[in-house]
A and B are shown apart, each in its own frame.
Chain A
């Protein structure tokens, strides 16, 4: 084996520098001299990995899930008049709840009771029967142990809308967009921005 000698040839270091490193070095040294802290370089790399072959198998798993979709639950296949009947039942439920609340004597319950009094029965029935969000409404009721105050407020808010003004029944209208907007509003309020959210778009 040949003996190592520094005289043989010029040995290069194994080190490389990042692209444009020296172009920016002067500026960075100046900043450091001025006491500015060097910013951490944020990469767009995400720390998330997936199991092996995940994306190869995913389409197959989705198609399998689609082919095994359960038949829609009863209320999702109802005709308009059946919806109207369901809406009547719901309104009755709300009014029974109202009476129950009225018997209790706490200020919160009285407040809820008063709110219920202000809702026009017929309009509420129509709202639920013709509302594109009706599945969500019924899902919410199924999930909830009691009719929440928020739910009542939500209904009250929407009963102010005339039925003919309700959006067309398509996918976008089935999405509870108001949730998105409410939450965005909160966030932008925190940022001190006012009145920035647009009206519902027409995607």
Chain B
């Protein structure tokens, strides 16, 4: 399936939901926040947030800043 993740169009194997995407990307779910198609997905809802071909996903985290 094709997803645009952090602005980059990428091909993925079929992924059921956001939990699967996080695992596929090797990320720690406790350290990120996610938008799907411009809507914030609460961490508790990753498992029931289905992914569709063409979804636009933003995955962000805290970095150093002033």
A, B: real partners = no
Q: Which residues of B contact A (CB under 8 A)?
A: none
